[in-house]
Amino acid sequence: MIIAERKTLKELLEMVQGCNRIMILGCRGCVAVCSAGGDKEVSILASALRLGLSRQGKEIEIQERTLVRQCDPEYIDPLNEEASDFDAVLSMACGVGVNFIADRCEDINVLPALNTTFYGANLSSGEWKEMCAGCGACVLHLTGGLCPVARCAKSLSNGPCGGSQGGRCEINPDVPCIWQQIYDKLSRLNRSDEMKNIMPIRDWTQAGHGGPRRRIREDLLP
Amino acid sequence: MKAGSNLENVLRSGAFAVTGELGPPKSGDLELVRKKAKILKGHVDAVNITDCQTAIVRMSSLTAGLIALAEGLEPVMQMTCRDRNRIGMQADILGASALGIKNLLCLTGDHQKFGNHPQAKGVFDMDSIQLLQMVKKMRDDKRFQCGEEIKGSEPNLFLGCAANPFADPFEFRPVRLAKKVEAGADFVQTQIIYNVDKFARFMEMVRDLGVHEKCFILAGVTPPKSLGMARYMKKFVPGLDVTDEVLARLSDSSDQREEGINICVDIIRQVQDIPGVAGVHIMAIEWEEAVPEIVKRAGLDQRPEPKGVEPVLASLDSIEKAVEDARKEVRIEFEEELERAKTEAQASRELVIKEKEKVASEMSDLKKQIEEARTMASQKEAEVQRLTEEIERTRKELEKRQAISTSDLEAPVNAPVAPPAPPVPQGPGPALTDREQRVLESLNLGLQALKEVLGLDDSQFEALKRFLEAEFMLQLAQVAPPVPGRGAPPPPPKVEVPAQEVSTPVEEVVRATPEEQEIEQRPAVRDKEVVNLVAKGNLALHSGDYNGAIDAFEKALSIDAGDEKAKNGLAEAKAALEKELSGVKGPSVKAEPVETSQTLPPCPEDVDEQWWKEKWVIRYTARGNVALMKGDYDTAIAEFKKALSIDPQNEKAKDGLNRAENRQGIYIPSIEAGPRPVEKAKEEKAPVTEEPGPEPQEKEKEKVSTPEPEPEASKAKEEPEKPAPKAEKPRIEISAPAEEGVSDLSVPVLSKEEPSLPERAGDIPEEVYLEACSGVIQSVTLGDGDKAISVGGETALPFYNFEGQMPNPPRVAFEVLDTEPEEWPEVLTKYFSDCLNDPPAWAKKCVDEYNAKCICLSLISTDPNGADASPAEAAEVAQKVVEAVDVPIIFWGCGNAEKDTETLREITGRIGERKVCLGPLTDANYRTLGATAMAFQYPVVASTPIDVNLAKQLNILLENLGVHLDQILMDPSIGAVGYGLEYTYSVMERIRLAALTQQDDKLSCPFICNLGREVWKAKETRLPSDGMLGDQERRGVLMEAITASTLLLAGGELMVMRHPKSVALTEALVEGLL
Amino acid sequence: MSRIKGFCCNYTLSVEPEALKGEGLIPEDVDLERIPCTGRLEVPELLDAFTQGASAVFVVGCQIDKCHNLSGSRRASKRVAQVKKILEELDMDPGLVEMFFAGRGETEPVVEAARIMASRAGAGSRPE
């Protein structure tokens, strides 16, 4: 899941400065699940903005709307019509949604209401944790399924650095040392010898350093 | 050997290595790095340069490493993966390697979160192990990380890594180290060790893996600076195990720093014992000063001599150092030079002192001798006194005896011309032999020198001189037998001698009688008496007192019947008396024969008539001169007329007459006749009428003629509008051997530059182009009389007449060899073919035919490597040359300092008062020759080998000796054109500029350029005529003339040359330029 | 509109709010609204109260562990906290919204809450 969080109200008030009519557009995808951009969040944001605006002595017409997903054309394309008389669409989807609206609705001024943070898992209500970096070159088979790229502060490939102490990462005692965990995991799986192997220097091209990534499946193409 | 770094060398040698750590500053402060490097240098084998440790921005490790390297401290450059991707890192690795960094410690790097830029994007393109792999691949496979080949130099680096034995998981740590070693680590430095036990366990596992055999393990240690620091490390530095024991030791200690060092040393000692530990890495964080102490206490202070620690690029510091070193070197050199110069100066000072002492002692010797001479003289005087008294006594006796007839005795006293009183003691005395003459001259020279040395004033000197001369004559009179004869007429009587004994004429006559009996027993006295009597006779005879003469001669014959002179005199006197008596009006007794028409007494039969006439002319002229001196012009006119009546062509008589008629001053053809007060006083008493003695001998003539030019010279001076060069002009037709090369020795007059410079300059103000000089070149005079020449005296550069004066034109001296030249080309010898083996004739030819103004006699025969003629032989030739010509003469030695000293001294001993010039004086013989020259006031040639400073030095030495700068000619050593002329030119020019513009008066002497010998030595002057080189003679002439003209422009004042044509050309040039 | 908006659940306040006003127990400008359960209050409602002119907003719910609807007042308190954060973001005094707890039928805590908030609104009232 893509994890996101709302930008601060100040940022958003700043963004809508000068608008008379805006649409706050939620997404019932990932951001709804991580309580960042679903119907509820849209409503709260609308009220908060209204309050903020009123305190500035301003009044903006705010329409609240939520799409099933903002990452599919079928939900996005109607906006060309529906949002045409709004000064801005404040999207509460992840960055993908904002980009998609921007791509497909040429005349619409789309604004991001959220910061898209990471690929994470919902540990419990209100807690999400990064698990993947989307690096495009998975080494999880070598690391007991635990990703050193996403979960090691220095993205080390060959074991814990000298800062690993008591299973904690040196950068923050609250952060577990993923290499300790990998070590433990592999040991548990009797695969600890694999850690003697040197992981070669990574190819970061698939991690986005080779340009915007794109995937095509011929069989599914229309 | 992988990289050949010092650290690698030390580790491979098996020595226990010590590395340190240097944290670059958080600024661009070069000095801080240098300071830290200086602290560590010599105490560690290499130093880690951290790469922004704890992610705080600092000076880059590469840069700081280079600074350390420049300080002579080998860096271990740390490189982290945090801040650069593989592109940046490889680039830096190449650069580091290129600039001489040989150790690389590969680290992942502290997370940026810890630093001062936590917002930074951590790059972490790879981790430390992958970095090791990459660098190893670059080094060993010559390939970049991407696989591309490194074309050219690969980075040769000794690779290191870090290991933390105290991090978790503990069991994995040795494995991870093994991975690093496998990836390429050659050495490892561990995290700070306080928990040695744990480290020992770690090492055990390491050994189990065999890692310690594949890489060098350096145990990391850090002296805790304080308890606070130790606590901080324990608490906040991840992976650092500070034991409670350490904390306790620190907290119990009164001096925590001291204890910190002790702890560190203890740990070093402990880890040293752990197998597999190859060295220690001391991280004294911001406490570099502790390292030397730690190393020392740990017994590791004897570090191996660093190898291969050389900065590739010269650092500013090293440049500074180099400059400083160079300065130091120069300073040291300078100081050494100074010291040497001081020592030399001291030595020469001592020498001068010694020399002075020597001179002083010589002088005191001389004084002693003089004293002795004086004593002797006073003894003699006493003797004379005694004799006089005796004579007086005898005379009185005689008077008593002849009391009755005293009539004739009074007369001679009042009238010296009276017959019985010829007042010349030695009368027509014996001619001085050559030897005696020389002795006399030497005596004069000696006296002259003595005068200089003793600083006598003229009157004192004159007195002394007269005294000694008297003594000399006295002795001579006793020794020399009378040698009468026409062939060698006796010299004129010395004026001084009669002056000594004013009253003797009478006494001599009187004395003769009572001593007759004694004379028989004393042949010497008898001879003397005879001489005296003969002299008296002659005097009387010449005075016209024939009776007196006959009387005297008869007396002489009565003593020595065989005396030829007396006989001749008697015959002459008798004949004269006879003639007088036989009616011809003879001279009156009163010696006033002015009215006499017949002035020439009849010639005795046995006397050559011509000789007789000359005798009388001289006699009358002398009388005239005496009268002239007394101021009795009428008498003088009468006497001179008498002389002219016999010989109307006599110049002296004419001149005398002229003077007498013009009532002009004294004309005394004698040196002694100078206007000296003492002299005059004596002269008044002296019976100068005796002056007209017998005809002077040749030598006397010379002596007399020498002073003659004086008045003429002074006359020339009175007439300013008569420059000397004009006199040289009529050199138009000099007969030369008609040859193809140089048929005509004459040179057309060089056209003068018209209009003058100021005219041409027009409106340009003078100060724009005029550069007045502040110095003056010394004026040096060579030779004497009107033939003397002066050179130098300029106040401007040569021929810069628009800027200053060049009062004396540069001169040319003809070179004459003292022996027949062996290697002179025919084109040169043909001009002197008739006199090449006759130096005096050669010199004379130069003067007479080629109008030489000066002669340089090269004493080449004296060269010890050549003919090695003795000084005496050379001096003889020299003397003849001196006698042959009256122009100034330079005696130029063979160049052998010792021999020249002998030769030139010998020459000075012979030639006496002629003011010659001596050369060359070098630093080897300037003392002796300088002293000699000084004594005779001769100018000298100071010769140095083409060097400004040497020239100056020699001048200074000579001046210190007492030789005045206006007595020195500088010989800068000459190179002919094509043979180093430009070198000579340059040195001369510099000397001249120094003298004129830099007030360097020690260089203000004129130049003498002995160039002829250089030119005619050159191959080009000797090769025969051919199509390419042209006519041999013209070639030689032009070479000599061009060399001379160049040297003239460089400031040369006196050119010594050989070929008459080139001399003519040179002189024409000089005249044209002036 | 009243300066102060209060929400309380049925179980907390057993009397009509107007009766309290009549008795002078709560200030005139306090608009007290009875709602079935504070757990039903959403963030926007609280925010909108401010938007509509309230200087201060308060919620009085059941004792946190004795809610009639078990967790209603707990939720309400979380939403009040959320509103507090939003007020903070908008540079407003988070004290202008508050959660109070009261026992069943206890009037005093409600009166107390109203007074507290009135005083906060008076003291902390900001110019518009």
Question: Could you give the maximum distance between any two Cα atoms of chain C, in Å?
Answer: 39
* Contacts of range B392-398, beta carbons closer than 8 Å, 24 or more positions apart: B392/B507, B394/B510, B394/B511, B394/B514, B394/B515, B395/B507, B395/B510, B395/B511, B397/B514, B398/B510, B398/B513, B398/B514
What are the chain A neighbours of C127 within 8 Å (beta carbons)? none
Query: Mean pLDDT score of chain A, rounded to an integer?
Result: 93
Inter-residue contact B788 to B915 (CB < 8 Å): yes
In this predicted structure, the answer to whether residue B700 has a pLDDT above a threshold of 70 is no
What are the chain C neighbours of A10 within 8 Å (beta carbons)? 89-90
Q: How far apart are CA B21 and CA B58, in angstroms?
A: 14
Q: What percent of chain B has pLDDT over 70?
A: 78
Per-residue pLDDT band at B657 (split at 50, 70, 90): confident
- Both A21 and A113 in one domain: the answer is yes
Q: How far apart are CA B863 and CA B867, in angstroms?
A: 6
Half-sphere exposure of B699 (CA within 13 A, CB side): 14
Q: Which two three-digit tokens encode residue B734?
A: 């000099």
Q: What is the pLDDT of residues B464-487, one digit of tens each?
A: 666 666 666 666 655 545 444 444
DSSP string, B358-376: HHHHHHHHHHHHHHHHHHH
Q: How far apart are CA A164 and CA A166, in angstroms?
A: 7
**Interface check A166 vs B, CB under 8 A:** yes
Q: What is the pLDDT of residues B860-882, one digit of tens each?
A: 999 998 888 899 888 889 989 99
- How would you classify residue B205: left for phi > 0, otherwise alpha for psi between -120 and 50, otherwise beta? alpha
Q: How far apart are CA B216 and CA A115, in angstroms?
A: 50
Instruction: Report CB contact under 8 Å: A47, C44.
Output: yes
- Chains A and C touch each other (3 or more Cβ pairs < 8 A): yes
Indicate whether A148 belongs to any domain: yes
Q: Which two three-digit tokens encode residue B690?
A: 């005796």
Q: How far apart are CA B932 and CA B952, in angstroms?
A: 21
Indicate whether A124 belongs to any domain: no
Query: Mean pLDDT score of chain B, rounded to an integer?
Result: 80
**Among the ranges A210-214, B571-575, B760-764, which has the highest mean pLDDT value?**
A210-214
Mean pLDDT of A210-222: 89
Choose among B455, B496, B478, B454: nearest CA to B370. B454
Q: Which two three-digit tokens encode residue B720?
A: 């300013």
Q: How far apart are CA B1021 and CA C75, in angstroms?
A: 129
What are the chain C neighbours of A48 within 8 Å (beta carbons)? 43, 47, 86, 89-90
Q: Give the N- to C-terminal CA distance of chain B in Å, as an integer.
A: 81
Residue B508 makes CB contacts below 8 A (sequence gap 6+) with B421, B423, B425, B532, B536
pLDDT given at position B454: 65
Q: Within 10 A of A187 (CB to CB), how many other CB atoms are there?
A: 16
**Interface check B169 vs A, CB under 8 A:** yes
Q: How far apart are CA B432 and CA B438, in angstroms?
A: 9
Residue B427 is given by DSSP the state S
Q: Identity (one letter) of the amino acid at B823? A: E
Distance from B171 to chain A by nearest Cα, in Å? 10
- Both A93 and A194 in one domain: the answer is no
pLDDT given at position B729: 42
Q: Identity (one letter) of the amino acid at B637? A: I
Instruction: Report CB contact under 8 Å: B133, A177.
Output: no
Name the closest residue on chain A to residue C83, using Cα atoms.
Answer: A48
Per-residue pLDDT band at C43 (split at 50, 70, 90): very high
In this predicted structure, the answer to whether residue B536 has a pLDDT above a threshold of 80 is no
* Best residue of A156, A161, A169, A171 to probe chain B, by most B CBs closer than 10 Å: A161
Q: What is the pLDDT of residues B1035-1056, one digit of tens each?
A: 999 999 999 999 999 999 999 9
Instruction: Report CB contact under 8 Å: B86, A171.
Output: no
Q: How far apart are CA B537 and CA B427, in angstroms?
A: 8
**Among the ranges A67-71, B226-230, C11-15, which has the highest mean pLDDT value?**
A67-71
Indicate whether A219 belongs to any domain: no
Task: Name the one residue in this structure whose structure tokens are 């041999």.
Answer: B1032
User: What residue ranges define each of the domains in chain B, with the CATH number in brackets?
Assistant: 6-315 (3.20.20.220), 411-707 (no CATH), 757-1073 (3.20.20.20)
Q: How far apart are CA B112 and CA B120, in angstroms?
A: 7
Distance from B186 to chain A by nearest Cα, in Å? 17
Q: How far apart are CA B199 and CA B78, in angstroms?
A: 23
Indicate whether A217 belongs to any domain: no
Q: What is the pLDDT of residues B204-246, one digit of tens each?
A: 999 999 999 999 999 999 999 999 999 998 888 877 889 999 9
User: What residue ranges define each of the domains in chain C, with the CATH number in brackets?
Assistant: 4-124 (3.40.50)
pLDDT given at position B741: 58
- Both A8 and A72 in one domain: the answer is yes
Distance from C94 to chain A by nearest Cα, in Å? 14
Q: How far apart are CA B579 and CA C117, in angstroms?
A: 185
Inter-residue contact B1058 to B1040 (CB < 8 Å): yes
Inter-residue contact B959 to B1002 (CB < 8 Å): yes
Per-residue pLDDT band at B532 (split at 50, 70, 90): confident
Query: Mean pLDDT score of chain C, rounded to an integer?
Result: 86
CA B1064 to chain centroid, in Å, comes to: 31
- Both A6 and A113 in one domain: the answer is yes
- Both A47 and A138 in one domain: the answer is no
Inter-residue contact A110 to A167 (CB < 8 Å): no
Tally A–B CB contacts below 8 A. 103
In this predicted structure, the answer to whether residue B264 has a pLDDT above a threshold of 90 is yes
**Interface check B134 vs A, CB under 8 A:** yes
Q: Where do runs of H (alpha helix) occur along B937-980? A: 948-961
Residue B458 makes CB contacts below 8 A (sequence gap 6+) with B676, B678
Instruction: Report CB contact under 8 Å: A9, C89.
Output: yes
Indicate whether A111 belongs to any domain: yes
Give how far Cα B1013 sits from Cα of A150, B900, B973, B1018, Å.
Answer: 100, 18, 11, 9
Minimal Cβ distance to A198: which of B82, B113, B129: B129
Indicate whether A218 belongs to any domain: no
Specify the range with the lowest mean pLDDT, choosing from A116-125, B644-653, C76-85: B644-653
Name the closest residue on chain B to residue A148, using Cα atoms.
Answer: B127
Q: How far apart are CA B638 and CA B728, in angstroms?
A: 40
Number of domains in chain A: 2
Residue B690 is given by DSSP the state G
Inter-residue contact B956 to B348 (CB < 8 Å): no
Q: What percent of chain A has pLDDT over 70?
A: 100
- Both A7 and A107 in one domain: the answer is yes
Instruction: Report CB contact under 8 Å: A159, B182.
Output: no
Give how far Cα B364 sits from Cα of A46, B228, B447, B876, B963, Å.
Answer: 132, 93, 15, 31, 21
* Contacts of range A113-116, beta carbons closer than 8 Å, 24 or more positions apart: A113/A6, A113/A7, A113/A12, A113/A24, A113/A37, A113/A45, A114/A4, A114/A5, A114/A6, A114/A7, A114/A31, A114/A36, A114/A37, A115/A4, A115/A5, A115/A6, A115/A7, A116/A2, A116/A3, A116/A4
Residue B139 is given by DSSP the state H
Q: How far apart are CA C74 and CA B831, in angstroms?
A: 144
pLDDT given at position B583: 56
Q: Identity (one letter) of the amino acid at B61? A: S
ipTM above 0.85, yes or no: yes
Task: Name the one residue in this structure whose structure tokens are 């005191």.
Answer: B364
- Please give the residue that has the higher pLDDT: either B859 or B733: B859
Task: Name the one residue in this structure whose structure tokens are 């007074």.
Answer: C115
Choose among B813, B809, B835: nearest CA to B824. B835
Query: Edge-to-edge strands of the sheet including C30-35?
Result: C30-35, C4-9, C56-62, C97-102
Q: How far apart are CA B43 and CA B292, in angstroms?
A: 6
Q: How far apart are CA C87 and CA C47, in angstroms?
A: 9
- Both A37 and A111 in one domain: the answer is yes
Q: Which two three-digit tokens encode residue A108?
A: 């619409």
Mean pLDDT of B772-778: 87
Q: How far apart are CA B844 and CA B865, in angstroms?
A: 29
Indicate whether A128 belongs to any domain: no
Mean pLDDT of C63-77: 89
Instruction: Report CB contact under 8 Å: A51, C89.
Output: no
Name the closest residue on chain A to residue C86, using Cα atoms.
Answer: A48
What are the chain A neighbours of C43 within 8 Å (beta carbons)? 43-44, 47-48
Q: What is the pLDDT of residues B1005-1026, one digit of tens each?
A: 999 999 999 999 888 888 888 8
Q: How far apart are CA B42 and CA B674, in angstroms?
A: 90
Give how far Cα B1032 sits from Cα of B412, B561, B826, B1012, B1027, Å.
Answer: 78, 73, 10, 16, 10
Task: Name the one residue in this structure whose structure tokens are 């002066």.
Answer: B790
- Both A95 and A166 in one domain: the answer is no
* Best residue of A44, A59, A60 to probe chain C, by most C CBs closer than 10 Å: A44
Handedness of CA A38, A40, A43, A47 (dihedral sign): negative
Residue C39 makes CB contacts below 8 A (sequence gap 6+) with C61, C67, C69, C71, C72, C73, C74, C75, C76
pLDDT given at position B476: 60
- Both A29 and A57 in one domain: the answer is yes
Kindly compute the dihedral angle of the four CA atoms of residues B412, B416, B421, B422, in this order, to the nearest 10 degrees: -170
Question: Could you give the maximum distance between any two Cα atoms of chain A, in Å?
Answer: 67
Instruction: Report CB contact under 8 Å: C128, A47.
Output: no
* CATH number, position A6: 3.40.50.2300
Domain of A22 in residue numbering reads as 2-118
Per-residue pLDDT band at B518 (split at 50, 70, 90): very low
Instruction: Report CB contact under 8 Å: B111, A171.
Output: yes
Q: What is the pLDDT of residues B17-59, one digit of tens each?
A: 999 999 999 999 999 999 999 999 999 999 999 999 989 999 9
Domain-ending residue, one of A56, A87, A118: A118
Handedness of CA B1024, B1025, B1031, B1035 (dihedral sign): negative
Q: What is the pLDDT of residues B921-946, one digit of tens each?
A: 998 888 888 888 888 888 999 999 98
- Both A95 and A7 in one domain: the answer is yes
Domain-ending residue, one of A93, A118, A143: A118
Task: Name the one residue in this structure whose structure tokens are 């992988």.
Answer: B2
List chains adjacent to chain B, taking adjacency as at least 3 C-beta pairs closer than 8 Å: A
Indicate whether A125 belongs to any domain: no
Mean pLDDT of A146-162: 94
Specify the range with the lowest mean pLDDT, choosing from B323-327, B628-632, B873-877, C115-119: B628-632
Instruction: Report CB contact under 8 Å: C90, A52.
Output: yes
- Both A95 and A137 in one domain: the answer is no
Instruction: Report CB contact under 8 Å: A44, C51.
Output: no
**Interface check A143 vs B, CB under 8 A:** no
The CA-CA-CA angle for residues A199, B278, B12, to 5°, reads 90
Q: Within 10 A of B1049 (CB to CB), how many other CB atoms are there?
A: 16
- Both A113 and A6 in one domain: the answer is yes
Minimal Cβ distance to A204: which of B125, B183, B238: B125
H or E element at residue C22: helix C17-22
Q: How far apart are CA B954 and CA B643, in angstroms?
A: 57
